[in-house]
Structure 1
Amino acid sequence: METLVICIDRDNDLGDKANVQAPLIGKEANIEAAVKLATADPEDSDTNTIFGGVKILDELLAKGVDAEIVTFAGDKNIGIISDQKIANQLDMILKKFPAESAIFVSDGAEDETLIPIVQSRMKIDSVRRIVVMQSANLESTYYIIKHAFNDPKISQTFFVPLGLAALIYAFFLLIDYSQGAIIGILAAVGLYMLYRGFNDTVDLYWEKLKDSFYSGRMAFFTYATAGFLVVLGTILGLMDVWSLYTAEGIWYYGVVPLLTSFVHRTVWIYALALLFADAGKIVDCRTRGEPVRMYLIPAFFILSIGFLFWGATSYLISMSSVLADNGDPRTGIQLFVYSVVFAIILALAGIKVSSMPKPKDKRSKR
């Protein structure tokens, strides 16, 4: 086969709206799926993408080119998960139809982010973007804004931060503490923006957590425990900072002492959380009879970094005139030196374990 006409539905509207399973191979299957999608949602642009791909296929066949059309669909969780699904579908199709080149058909820039994935597997001769021509009334500003807000991807991004800010402001007004409204709004919107920024990573780890839960792995329990410890440590650290802040104010303590107090209170709780998460992987590998060294090595470095942070913050607290209660700087420097020594020993132990020869796989001998 010479050419493969590739249509992309990155957010899987075909599956969610028309209940059609991708990949779709061949002209008839694609037309049938496009009709189902158009019936379910006449305004979905993926319908026009598929019909555009069919037209390109007809043009290629009329010129005597050996071509076929395939439509790939990803997942509503746009990002790593959806792109991995499309990449797996593409690998499967290329085994069946080892085409020399491809024509990439999309409805916009979002689908075209998959071009590098396709290019890593085959040559792309052309990229076609299907743009729907509309009447002047439908191109009005009102129509564009209305339909943009009806799009869940846009509405969630736009309305959720505004809704959070309004609710938090109303709550602080209700308790007659308007000064805390700004802090609460900034914290909530900041957390939401972090979640949106790390959305792919959060979704990936959520999928791994569900997989470990349904497969009965120890990693689910240890991940849950680690998450609880992170939340607990953060709350305890913030309580310490808040007590210092309300006692004298940030002008008295400064940002560095407050940050030092937070790190000193939370460092071992965070380290314990990481060790719990790592321990679950070790237990699961032991259960499956797999080597555990790759998960054992991080434990040494987690403890090493924990000693470094704990020793450094202990020394800074002992030297601070506002944080230390009659603290002795000499004791602080001793703790810092001891912690550095322990950190180096643990790091060297981790390096030693990582440099050990890998054990031979007993199953390969069989």
Structure 2
Amino acid sequence: MDVLVLCIDRDDDLGRKAGIKSPVVGREENLNAALTLGLADPEESDTNTIFGGLKIYDELAAERSVEIATITGDEKVGLSADRKLAEQLEQLIERLDPKSVIVVSDGAEDEAILPIIQSRIKVDGVRRILVKQNPSIESTYYLLKQVFTDPKISHTIFIPPGLALLMFSIFYLLNYPNGAIIAITGSVGLYLLFRGLGLDDFLDETKKTLRGSLYAGKISFVTYILAGMLIIIATIQGIANVWYSYKGPIWYGYLTLLMLFINASVWWYVAAGICANVGKLIDMHLEGIKDPRTYSYPFFLFATGLIFWGASIVILANFTQDFSMSPLSSIQYFAVCAMGAMATALLGIKLKSYIAKRNGAGRELLKEGVQTKC
């Protein structure tokens, strides 16, 4: 096949609103998908994207071997959506074996995955389908209304001012308006970091994992909840340790305060990670899934905890007074922690290799048994 006309629906409106599973391959299938989506939501721009792809398909069909397909991502546009789009694209390449693609989208957001497409196949062209709007004031107002009701846009535009107004009102009620500036800048800054680092996608994935574990009746649901409680305990423990040191007669410096936080909380975080991994291991064992890599994770978590623990002791012993260990003893202690971390990591690697070999031997025996029966 020469060309694949590829329609992109990055936020999965086709699946959410029309209940159609992607990839959708073929002219009739895409036409039915566009009609179904148009009936479900007449204002959806992805309907026009598919119709635009069908028009390109009809223009090329008389001259070249061509096929049309629509792939979708995820409601939460981000890494998860791009991963799904990449997987579906690879399926289409393997199934149809096209020489090149023509990408059809409804805007720059969908075209953000162009580097992913170009890394897998040659792109002959990009066609953006824009819906023509009436330039009257009423149409402009309606367009703005539709934009602001989109959760992806409203979360970005409305939450920072909302946080600022909320902080100001709280501190004004407390008769401490001067503190409102600190609270506003801090809360808005945290929100921007939260969005910028992609932690909202991480929380969405966590919620989906928890919901799936709960509905499937998996033990990992309980261990994930326990891990979350351990993380909260670790954070409070670290903050309390820093707070007590800050209130003391000596100012230790930012780095030392960070080490105080790590020293008080690191093992709680390690316990949370191991707890979550143990729940996952139990579920995999019950479901008959064998992945040797997961058995080494607790060892690496423990080794990482040893390194952070030893490093925090060295810094605290050298830069704080009245610490329970001398600087020389702390360096020796760190050396022991480093060797213990390497030994623990090696033990995890050996366990992973042993389980992988055992699983391989078990599959070979099973294969031989099946051949013998046959």
Q: CA RMSD in A?
A: 3.2
Determine whether 1:354 maps to 2:352. no
CA distance in 2, matches of 1:354, 1:313: 26
Say which is worse superposed, 234-243 or 286-295, in terms of deviation.
286-295
Retained in 1: the 8 A contact 2:4–2:69?
yes
Determine whether 1:204 maps to 2:199. no
CA distance in 1, matches of 2:267, 2:123: 52
Q: Report the secondary structure of 1:258's partner residue.
A: helix
Match of 2:50 in 1: 50
Please list, as runs of the form range in 1=range in 2, the aligned pairs for 1:1-366 lying within 5 A after superposition: 1-61=1-61, 63-94=62-93, 96-137=95-136, 145-196=144-195, 197-198=197-198, 199-246=200-247, 252-288=251-287, 294-320=293-319, 324=321, 326-327=322-323, 330=326, 333-355=328-350, 358-361=356-359, 362-366=362-366
Query: What TM-score, normalized to structure 2?
Result: 0.81
User: Which runs of 5 or more structure 1 residues have no equivalent in the other structure?
Assistant: none
Residue by residue, what CA displacement relative to the aligned partner does 1:143-182 show, whole Å, maximum 9, x if unpaired?
A: 6654432322111111112212222222222223445434
| Structure 1 position 341, deviation (Å) | 0.7
CA distance in 1, matches of 2:293, 2:21: 38
| Structure 1 position 59, deviation (Å) | 0.9
Q: Report the secondary structure of 1:360's partner residue.
A: helix
Retained in 1: the 8 A contact 2:106–2:129?
yes
Retained in 2: the 8 A contact 1:107–1:130?
yes
CA distance in 1, matches of 2:324, 2:86: 61
Say which is worse superposed, 49-58 or 257-266, in terms of deviation.
257-266
Q: What letter matches 1:165 in structure 2?
A: A
Sequence identity of aligned pairs in percent?
Answer: 41
CA distance in 1, matches of 2:262, 2:67: 59
Say which is worse superposed, 232-241 or 276-285, in terms of deviation.
276-285
Retained in 1: the 8 A contact 2:314–2:334?
no
User: Which runs of 5 or more structure 2 residues have no equivalent in the other structure?
Assistant: 367-374
Retained in 2: the 8 A contact 1:107–1:131?
yes
Q: Report the secondary structure of 1:201's partner residue.
A: helix
CA distance in 1, matches of 2:299, 2:21: 46
Retained in 2: the 8 A contact 1:226–1:274?
yes
Retained in 2: the 8 A contact 1:264–1:314?
yes
Retained in 2: the 8 A contact 1:293–1:353?
no
Residue by residue, what CA displacement relative to the aligned partner does 1:293-318 show, whole Å, maximum 9, x if unpaired?
A: 53343333333332333333334434
| Structure 1 position 344, deviation (Å) | 0.8
Retained in 1: the 8 A contact 2:223–2:279?
yes
Say which is worse superposed, 273-282 or 140-149, in terms of deviation.
140-149
Query: What TM-score, normalized to structure 1?
Result: 0.83
Retained in 2: the 8 A contact 1:8–1:111?
yes
Retained in 2: the 8 A contact 1:293–1:354?
no
Q: What letter matches 1:9 in structure 2?
A: D
| Structure 1 position 28, deviation (Å) | 3.6
| Structure 1 position 8, deviation (Å) | 1.2
Retained in 2: the 8 A contact 1:229–1:269?
yes
| Structure 1 position 277, deviation (Å) | 2.2
Cα distance 1:187–1:271, how it changes in 2: closer, same or farther (>3 A)? Answer: farther
Cα distance 1:12–1:351, how it changes in 2: closer, same or farther (>3 A)? Answer: same
How many corresponding residue pairs? 359
Cα distance 1:336–1:230, how it changes in 2: closer, same or farther (>3 A)? Answer: farther
CA distance in 1, matches of 2:92, 2:109: 22
Cα distance 1:301–1:47, how it changes in 2: closer, same or farther (>3 A)? Answer: closer
Retained in 1: the 8 A contact 2:252–2:319?
no
| Structure 1 position 200, deviation (Å) | 3.4
Cα distance 1:178–1:342, how it changes in 2: closer, same or farther (>3 A)? Answer: same
CA distance in 1, matches of 2:94, 2:312: 57
Q: Report the secondary structure of 2:69's partner residue.
A: strand
CA distance in 2, matches of 1:256, 1:31: 61
Q: Report the secondary structure of 2:64's partner residue.
A: coil
CA distance in 2, matches of 1:220, 1:114: 33
Q: What letter matches 1:157 in structure 2?
A: T
Residue by residue, what CA displacement relative to the aligned partner does 1:40-97 show, whole Å, maximum 9, x if unpaired?
A: 4444322221221121112112x33232322222221112332333344444445554
Retained in 2: the 8 A contact 1:304–1:346?
yes
Q: What letter matches 2:75 in structure 1?
A: K
